[in-house]
Amino acid sequence: MKHIVVLTGAGISAESGLKTFRDAGGLWEGHNIMEVASPEGWRKNPALVLDFYNQRRKQLDEVLPNAGHLALKKLEEKYKVTIVTQNVDDLHERAGSSNIIHLHGELKKAQSTLDPKLVYHLNGWEIKSGDKCEKGSQLRPFIVWFGEMVPLLDTAIQIAQTADIFMIIGTSLAVYPAASLIDYVPPHCNIYVIDPNLPYIAKRNNLFLIEKKATEGVVEIVDQLMSGLQ
């Protein structure tokens, strides 16, 4: 069974109505991104950071997976599929995909500030000041912030190396180290890049550029892969 590895970014979630991580000015709801997505921001104003991600969770509960998410689930009928996502939402899970790696963390989980190995599923949309882990430390969002290591990067690299088909959906390929995964794909591997604003990628064999949004381009390529046309 062929292995399809999929790298997804903010573009696929945006089509479900989720705001992308930052606007053209580098701000999200008026905040400098480093205020709410860095260890320094957390130390300076944990209440602001908690509220920021609480609002993200609240919004996430109001949206649904889109046709792009659902098409990726359909691929599992014929292929082994691994999704490596830069997104912290759970839309791939809710679409039914069974093998997902979250490089940048998961919005619906909390993490101990004392012991990073202590991670908890959240029942609601809030982490409150005073919510503590079993060792007595404040819980923080389970998010890989700027300046922090990406724990699952090595796993993602190993997976990319096993790809027969590699799909890149809704990402500018500007955020490293996730953007470097394409460098580990085997030479024989077909690469499909799907985005209405295609990122620059050096020409290579078996590279297919689809200048469409995920709800169109992913559905189109998945239909071709399922019918054996690709």
At 47, give phi and psi (nearest 5°).
-65, -40
Number of domains in the chain: 1
Backbone dihedral angles phi then psi of residue 184, each to the nearest 5 degrees: -105, 0
Question: Which of the residues are catalytic?
Answer: 104
Mean pLDDT of each 10-residue bin along the chain, 230 residues long:
96 88 56 90 96 93 96 97 97 98 97 96 95 96 94 96 96 80 93 90 87 96 85
* C-alpha–C-alpha distance, residues 36 and 82, integer Å: 30
Q: Residue 162: which domain range?
A: 3-227
Q: Minimal CA–CA distance to 118: which of 140, 102, 90, 89?
A: 140
Confidence (pLDDT) at 177: 79
Tokens 């993200």 -> residue:
56
Domain holding 16: CATH number?
3.40.50.1220
**Do residues 75 and 225 make contact, with C-beta atoms less than 8 angstroms apart?**
yes
105: helix, coil or strand? strand
Indicate the DSSP class of residue 179.
G
Q: How much is the pTM?
A: 0.92
Strands annotated E in 57-164 = 80-85, 100-102, 105-112, 119-121, 139-143
CA distances from 214 to 15, 81, 193, 194, 226 (A): 8, 17, 10, 7, 17
At 124 the pLDDT is 92
CA–CA gap between residue 33 and residue 51 (Å, rounded): 14
